[in-house]
Amino acid sequence: MRPADAPRRVVVLGPTASGKSAVAMQVTSMFSDVDIVAIDAMQVYRHMNIGTAKPTADDQRRVPHHCLDLVDPSQRFTATQFQAAAGDALDAIHAAGRRALLVGGTGLYLTAVIDELVFPGEWPEIRTDLEADIDTQGLYRRLADLDPPAAAKIEPNNRRRIIRALEVCLGSGERFSDAGPGTATFPDNGVVQIGIRWSRDELARRIALRVDQMITEGLVDEVRGLLALDPPMSRTAAQALGYKEMIDHIAGRVPLAVARDEIVLRTTQFAVRQERWYRRDPRIRWVDVSGDEPVGLVSPAVVAAFGE
């Protein structure tokens, strides 16, 4: 549990390409005692920098960052493990007399940290059997039979979450949707959440620009380097936005232009899912933005939150 005397935690959140990192850097430049905690399921992987829009080396030198580069791309990493790592980081920040700005893109991970979710157990043998089944749609139908409420909340092509839900159903004999209070409860946790909200069209434009920038900065070469690693990338890492498409391009299955368009499409679809996740939380204070950069509009709200 969070110590009663712990300093206020503030979150800046939003979908991918919404400008969270720029806002975080601006806010931390105005304080001398604020660290950044990255809440991102893919930035935990070492060597995956460009495609995950990981904070630059210069930004990391300027401001202490936590929860980056925790594991190699070959390793499996779960929300439970992230929750523990983020908890350790927050405890260390508090012990040092500093404050934390959480920068959130992965909704489940953020909820796990700020609401202290209790996750069901793990059954590795069952998970291994499920992962060997390449029929994702068949797995989804199986989940729909066993746990309709869980299936209704999971995208039919989200293989990772489908397998996790099935693992719990089969391993525990209980429905995944019945495990703990879940993510649909929004307790008063003392955390201030500031959300960045763009129109769908403007966000799609920003995503396309970001993908083009990633390719210019060397995304193809980054993926080539990852493919050369031994042991190889895990299924989760290899399916990450931008990486899956570039793997297809490097393998000669699609031209670069087609891979680029597919990254933009998948990322835009992912951003919509992120928005849906965050919209459920009535505790979030939204700042509507437009134009090129959200820093000027969002940063004052985040700075003010630290003073509450």
284 or 4, higher pLDDT: 284
Domains by residue range for the chain, with CATH = 10-118+191-306 (3.40.50.300), 124-178 (1.10.20.140)
> What is the strand order of the sheet 284-288 is part of?
65-66, 34-39, 99-104, 10-13, 192-197, 284-288
- pLDDT category of residue 184 using cuts at 50, 70 and 90: low
What's the whole-number mean pLDDT along residues 67-94? 96
Q: What is the DSSP letter of 90?
A: H
Quick one: pLDDT at residue 242?
97
Kindly report the average pLDDT of the chain as a whole number. Answer: 93
Residue with tokens 């003392």: 190
C-alpha span between 132 and 257 (Å, rounded): 32
5 or 36, higher pLDDT: 36
What's the whole-number mean pLDDT along residues 91-100? 95
Residue range 29-50, pLDDT digits in tens: 999 999 999 999 999 999 999 9
- pLDDT category of residue 74 using cuts at 50, 70 and 90: very high
> How many helices (DSSP H) and strands (DSSP E) are in the chain?
14, 6
Encode 193-223 in three state secondary structure.
EEEEECCHHHHHHHHHHHHHHHHHHCHHHHH
- pLDDT category of residue 233 using cuts at 50, 70 and 90: very high
C-alpha span between 196 and 27 (Å, rounded): 14
Identify the top-confidence range among 92-106, 118-132, 286-300. 92-106
Q: What's the Cα-to-Cα distance from 165 to each of 21, 180, 239, rounded to whole Å?
A: 31, 13, 19
Name residues whose C-beta falls within 8 Å of residue 120's C-beta, 6 or more positions apart in sequence. 168, 172, 176, 179, 180
- pLDDT category of residue 188 using cuts at 50, 70 and 90: confident
Q: What is the pTM of this model?
A: 0.85
Q: What is the DSSP letter of 141?
A: H
Instruction: Check if the beta carbon of residue 79 is closer than 8 Å to that of residue 108.
Output: yes
Q: What's the Cα-to-Cα distance from 231 to each of 219, 227, 304, rounded to whole Å?
A: 20, 9, 46
At CB < 8 A and 24+ separation, what contacts does 164-171 make?
A: 164/127, 166/126, 166/130, 166/139, 166/142, 167/122, 167/123, 167/126, 167/127, 167/130, 168/120, 168/121, 168/123, 169/143, 170/123, 170/126, 170/130, 170/146, 171/121, 171/122, 171/123, 171/126
C-alpha span between 207 and 291 (Å, rounded): 14
Q: Is the pLDDT of residue 153 over 90?
A: no
C-alpha span between 264 and 266 (Å, rounded): 6
- pLDDT category of residue 1 using cuts at 50, 70 and 90: very low
Strands (E), the chain: 10-13, 34-39, 65-66, 99-104, 192-197, 284-288
**pLDDT over 90 percentage in the chain:** 81
153 or 280, higher pLDDT: 280
What's the whole-number mean pLDDT along residues 134-141? 94
Quick one: pLDDT at residue 182?
59
Quick one: pLDDT at residue 158?
87
Quick one: pLDDT at residue 187?
83
What's the whole-number mean pLDDT along residues 131-139? 93
What's the whole-number mean pLDDT along residues 181-194? 81
Quick one: pLDDT at residue 180?
59
What's the whole-number mean pLDDT along residues 2-29? 86
Q: Is the pLDDT of residue 244 over 90?
A: yes
Instruction: Check if the beta carbon of residue 162 is closer than 8 Å to that of residue 140.
Output: yes
Minimal CA–CA distance to 104: which of 25, 184, 193, 200? Answer: 193
- pLDDT category of residue 142 using cuts at 50, 70 and 90: very high
Q: Is the pLDDT of residue 65 over 60?
A: yes
Quick one: pLDDT at residue 286?
97
Q: What's the Cα-to-Cα distance from 271 to each of 67, 107, 297, 305, rounded to whole Å?
A: 22, 11, 21, 25
C-alpha span between 231 and 251 (Å, rounded): 18
Quick one: pLDDT at residue 5?
55
Residue 10: strand pairing partners:
101, 192
CB atoms within 10 A of CB 109: 24
